Amino acid sequence: MAIDNAPKNPPGNPAPKKKIRREDALAYHSMGRKGKIEVIPTKPCATARDLSLAYSPGVAEPCLEIAKDPDLSYLYTARGNLVAVVSNGTAVLGLGDIGPAAGKPVMEGKGVLFKRFADIDVFDINIDAKEIDDVCRVVKALEPTFGGINLEDIKAPECFIIEERLKKEMQIPVFHDDQHGTAIISGAALLNALELAGKKIDQVKVIVSGAGASAIACTKFYISLGVKRENVVMVDTKGVVFKGRTEGMNPWKQEFASDTKARTLVEAAKGADVLLGCSVKGMFTQDMVRSMAKDPIVFALANPDPEISYPDAKDAREDVIMATGRSDYPNQVNNVLGFPYIFRGALDVRAKAITEDMKMAAAKALAELAKEDVPDSVSRAYGGEKFRYGRDYIIPKPLDPRVLLAVAPAVAKAAIEGGVARVQLDLNQYRDQLRKMQSRSHQVMGSIFTKAKKKLAKIVFPEGHHPKVQQAAEILREEGICEPVLLGPVDVIRESIKQQRLEELDGITIVNPEESPLYPKYVARLWELRQRRGLTYEEARRRMRTRAYYAAVMLEQGEVDGLVTGLTTGYADAVRPSLEVIHTRAGKRAAGVYIVVTKNDFKFFADCTVNIDPSPEEMAEIALTTADLARYFDVVPRVAMLSYSSFGSAEGESPRKVREATQLARQRRPDLEIDGEIQVTPALTADTRVPEFPFANLKDNANVFVFPNLDAANIAYQLLEAMGGAEVIGPVLLGMHKPVNVLQMGTSVQSIVNLAAITALRAQGDEFLF
């Protein structure tokens, strides 16, 4: 955990938030299919049989089973992943009581966030009911359909009564996000802000501007975190909520009436440690911020315009720790950090309620996550901005994918321990399940990770100085996938590991080639291997100073079991040392394969990196080695030899080459399901292939695609990745004498982990040749 705790102004004020044009917002919601959501079937509905299973008569069978045991609705319907977002439109954003129909775009938007961040399905329920009894009656009647209820944009004080009554009367989670979402997220921010300010939570004075649903929920939550009730002063439109006040009071405000002489926000703010705004624009002044205690904490959460702007607060006090609800300033308190993941954890244990302990677990998980090093993928999502735990980064960013893995298991654990979970989970397995849900490539790699762990291989990384390699090495070590060996300046790497707090790398092997006692031996070995290829001894000495050659000889000599390189070097330059030192296996040719992972499937694409225009013999060899690779992913290979022609439908040199390659491959491996030349559509679609080409050897759709040249293969995988939303794993280097893989330059930490795992599997012995 690296900490940036220096009070400072940002280098210039952040750019003002770009105003959304009215015309753009209206066009966004009205273009194409109207609104923002749709219902998509999860089961096939293409044939008459499918329809008879989806509806009558087949649907009667699950109906009868659920009638016997209502809990089977979680097995036979979508209920377990379905949340109702319920609103009566009486307090929509800052728009007030605009009614349920006018509030529907907001509720659809809430559904989009549930789906985008936690893969939870939502129906928005906008009800024409304002009386408490009517709202409760409608919502309670929805229980058989949903796994949880998210109450939204219902005005205070009715929202308090409605939520409390429904929580008592329903056996599924009921959560009013307007109250608790802000409380949980700002609570996480408060824990870290106090730590950075060096203050104890039971000693700080907290001033709350506002007395609505969010303000009251935040206050209650802060008290549950450890703030003393007597240290809280609440201020509403009538002034300080003090003991004995009668004007504008209600039971919820009365709970926080203070024994204080202060009667205004200005008076209350003097000497305060924390100033929380859940009110309106402009309520805080620079003078108020200046009057606060040392290292003041100001959470100005009014949206879209805060009680005081970030630049104004920073100009007033250099030592202020500031959070707002805006995305264009540091420390955004955004409810999307909470509700999707809280419901995810609650649904997955089939919780009866969302308890205070579950909310507390969510806040603490967010606070701890902010202290961890932030992956480059998050920085890229925010234009390359770097984040480090400190005054300008006290809570995670909304687009940080790790939030799901931190919050949902913490909530599930609290539900289990609190006795409200109907389903008991192994939390380690649950985290892995969430990773697979979040990343299709992680799901595909599951079998490889498991197999690689059976025998711990030593994998060398020439670019050991790079933080991405070090972060990947920690994951590989922590998961027991392989034992990394890092090459580079020893002191520099150890300092980098220390700065990143990569504790799993304590004791890791780090080698500086020029300082290694094996350097002279490796120079001699490289010269011996290449002296008849024009390499002088002096040139061998020079090359051995480059870590790529040192790593290649290290592998050739058996000091390590595999090699992963290429993060900072172009593919051709990265692979050259290994080709010169390791060579390909006898009779084999190197080729590069990408595993292309789509929403519902994954395919193997070859050759994407090495052979520019392979001969028929080379294409046949590529097909066979790629088929071998597929088997290690527990896939029965079905190989399509691709062309612009299908079985002689067009003439040309390329179709003839592919046809010959197919024949050669079939001769060498008669048991392999392979055919070609064939176009992509019949290779992928039985409806086209079977009637038009009933003689085809492909009995099912192809999963291994061998392209006629490098242009076609490289373009195809990149198009699917860039335009089709596919994830790619690789490239996996085939045909080498020993396990070597070359990364895409600048690739992600997870890609390094994936390729290292594949390398470790290949290192386990000849039974894993590909």
pLDDT in tens, 407-431: 999 999 999 999 999 999 999 999 9
CA distances from 76 to 47, 59, 71, 72 (A): 21, 10, 10, 6
Helices 177-197 and 339-348: crossing angle in degrees, nearest 10, is 110
**pTM of model > 0.75:** no
β-strand 483-487 against 591-597: which pairing, if any? unpaired
The alpha helices in 38-122, defined as continuous H runs, are: 48-54, 60-68, 73-76, 100-118
Cα separation, 577 vs 556, in Å, equals 11
Residue 454 pLDDT class (50, 70, 90 cuts): confident
- Whether 110 is catalytic is yes
pLDDT of residue 5: 47
Report how far residue 552's alpha carbon sits from residue 581's, in angstroms, rounded to the nearest whole number: 6
Q: Which amino acid is at 277?
A: G
DSSP-assigned beta bridge partners for residue 677: none
Average pLDDT over residues 327-355: 96
Phi and psi for 619 in degrees, rounded to 5?
-60, -40
- Is 501 exposed, middle or buried, given 0-12, 13-18 or 19+ CB atoms closer than 10 A? middle
The answer for residues whose C-beta is within 8 angstroms of residue 633's C-beta and 6 or more apart is 444, 447, 448, 595, 602
- The whole-number average pLDDT for the span 289-296 is 97
Query: 210: number of CA atoms within 13 Å, CB side?
Result: 26
Between CA 120 and CA 147, with CA 126 as vertex, the angle to 5 degrees is: 35
562-565/740-742 β-pairing: parallel
Is 70 exceeded by the pLDDT of residue 478?
yes
What confidence category does residue 596 fall into, taking pLDDT thresholds of 50, 70 and 90?
very high
Per-residue pLDDT tens digits for 371-385: 998 887 788 778 778
What is residue 441's predicted lDDT score, i.e. its pLDDT? Answer: 73
Sheet holding 673-678, edge to edge: 673-678, 638-642, 704-706, 602-606, 591-597, 727-734
Strand order in the sheet with 82-87: 121-126, 82-87, 148-151, 174-176
What's the confidence (pLDDT) of residue 769? 60
Identify which has the larger pLDDT, 587 or 730: 730
- For the chain, what percent of residues have pLDDT higher than 70? 96
> What is the per-residue pLDDT for 432?
87
For residue 93, pLDDT beyond 90: no
Q: For this structure, is 55 an active site residue?
A: yes
* Spatial separation of the C-alpha atoms in residues 690 and 601, rounded to whole Å: 21
DSSP 329-348: SSSB--GGGTHHHHHHHHHH
The Cβ of residue 575 has, within 10 Å, a number of other Cβ atoms equal to 25
Q: Which of 420-424, 502-506, 531-535 has the lowest mean pLDDT?
A: 502-506
Distance set, CA 766 to CA 480, 640, 656 (Å): 21, 26, 34
The answer to which of 14-18, 503-507, 623-627, 676-680 has the lowest mean pLDDT is 14-18
Residue 10 pLDDT more than 70? no
Q: Is 20 helix (H, G, I), strand (E, B) or coil?
A: coil
Owner of token pair 């790497």: 493
- Flag whether pLDDT at 756 surpasses 80: yes
Average pLDDT over residues 32-56: 89
Give yes or no for residue 157 having a pLDDT over 70.
yes
Residue 766: per-residue pLDDT: 60
* Mean per-residue pLDDT over the chain, rounded: 92
Determine which one of 28, 55, 76, 537 is catalytic: 55
Confidence tier at 20 by pLDDT (50, 70, 90): low
Residue 3 has pLDDT above 80, yes or no: no
**Which comes out higher in pLDDT, residue 195 or 502?**
195
CA–CA separation, 363 and 184 (whole Å): 5
pLDDT value of residue 11: 36
